[in-house]
Amino acid sequence: MARTYLIAPDPKETGWPKGVPYIIGNEGCERFSYYGMRAILVLYMTNALMFDVARASTVYGNFTGLAYLMPLAGGYIADRW
């Protein structure tokens, strides 16, 4: 439904809140570091920690699974309290 105004809204009060660029920047940095770390995690475990490939792959799979599943558990807990 279209809104009709007697006077135009103040352009300073419309649009995005001032903090949105910081939120977007923070999310971009977080995603960059997460995917960058995932890309080299198995290499680090096999070369620096001397894990065999099977164990490093298991740790990688567990880490990735937990990274995607823990927000569901956190959301459930947050909704209950």
Dist CA 7 CA 27 (whole Å): 37
Percent residues over pLDDT 90 in the chain:
77
The reported pTM is: 0.70
Structure confidence at residue 1 as a pLDDT band (50, 70, 90) = low
Percent residues over pLDDT 70 in the chain:
90
Spans of all domains in the chain? 19-80
**CA angle (63 as vertex; 62, 68 as ends), nearest 5:** 100
Dist CA 22 CA 29 (whole Å): 10
**CA angle (34 as vertex; 66, 39 as ends), nearest 5:** 95
Structure confidence at residue 15 as a pLDDT band (50, 70, 90) = confident
